[in-house]
Amino acid sequence: MADTANLEIGDQKYSLNLIKGTEQELAVDISKLRKESRVITFDDGYGNTGSCESEITFIDGDKGILRYRGYDIAELAEKSNFLESAYLLLNGNLPSGGELDGFRQRVAGYCDLPAEVLTSIRSQPAGAHPMAVLSSGLQALGGSYPQYGTNDRKKDLESFDESSALIISAVRSLAAAIYKNSLGEDLSSSDPGRTYCENFLSMMFDKPGESTPVPSAVESALDLIFLLHADHEQNCSTSTCRMIASGGANPFASLAGGVSALWGPLHGGANMAVIKMLDEIHESGDDGSRFVESAKQGKSRLMGFGHRVYRNYDPRAKILKNACDQALDALGVSSPILQIARRLEEVALEDPYFIQRKLYPNVDFYSGIILQALGFPTNMFTVLFAIGRTPGWLSHWKEIAENGKKIHRPRQIYQGETLRPYLPVEDR
């Protein structure tokens, strides 16, 4: 195969280098095209633009493949856990026993939030959206640890082991504090002897002085949700985080921007939309059958089915389906909404209409059901997404800080007015 691609613009020819990825994908390198030709490329939404070279996550949507640092997501889901997979994303390799113990201890040591951060959360308006408070909370966290967020790349990289453990630990405490504040309650004390998810669930739902046991199936389901959301290549929030980092911003600022990007309903709000859809179906008196027919006729939108990247079964959905069933059984949960969800799932997996269009249930479908069953209000769903995605965002920040050479600066095609004179107000 040739190492170059040829482009003709009018009577001019340009030779463009080809970049070959380790999984055989090819990219045309246009980085010098503007300099040589004064022409730029146009790709609305960057759907076919490679913004970077990365070693973190590989996705093949046509084949339903997702790998973290070369490890298949199904194998990680079966054999690993959230913190071990977070270490993998951050450092490039699975940890030894000693490395994993040290990482867990660092994470556990940062669970309690500084008083200033709690004050910043309590100062927010009662009706503030949890994602807005989470973004500002991350900035406040950086202010409480200025030695880890200097905006000096060399210094921030030197302290990255500490800052990454701090943020991964504190993001769950921020989430719990935000929820408790919305109820007018104080944050429950953390217990470093508990696992990452046990501690989080305790801070979220225990009353002061209480310590409610967490069923293992419930803890495992939440841990799995976090693991499956830990990274997903160059999505909207990750690309935002990388762009902020390219300007030299520290991890706290970069992740605060990632949270804001994730907040958008077209990105992080899909699992909330699933629950809203199920509620509406139930309120209409339907068991899901009429809604399915309406969706097939294009009159209704089936949320939680299909995926922009995957043209096959979302590999994360297959994994989460089993965890969903186990968690609901452990909780003894049964409701009309869950019955409707299972009806929709059954139809989508058997009806030729959905199979031919590859409209399989995706990870948002199952995660929304689990999170509702665990007792999380729907406005906290995207916050849970952010907790899981935190190791991925940090990994991309690190990759930019180590390898980035220039600030990200997309071009545009201007379609506005051409040069025109300024007229005095009396002449307009």
Which residues carry out catalysis?
267, 307, 364
Query: Would you say 281 and 250 are in contact if contact means Cβ atoms under 8 Å apart?
Result: no
Query: Would you say 84 and 100 are in contact if contact means Cβ atoms under 8 Å apart?
Result: yes
Collapse the DSSP code of 34 into the 3-class scheme (helix H, G, I; strand E, B; otherwise coil) and give the result: helix
Rounded Cα–Cα distance for residues 332 and 156 (Å): 47
Q: Which residues contact 404 (CB under 8 A, 6 or more apart)?
A: 245, 246
- b/e burial code for range 358-368 (CB count within 10 A of at least 16 → b): bbbbbbbbbbb
Rounded Cα–Cα distance for residues 66 and 290 (Å): 34
Query: Would you say 199 and 111 are in contact if contact means Cβ atoms under 8 Å apart?
Result: yes
**Degrees to nearest 5, angle at CA 62 with 61 and 68:** 35
Tokens of 12: 């001019």
Q: What is the DSSP string of 247-285?
A: TT--HHHHHHHHHHHHTSTTTTTHHHHHHHHHHHHHHTT
Collapse the DSSP code of 396 into the 3-class scheme (helix H, G, I; strand E, B; otherwise coil) and give the result: helix
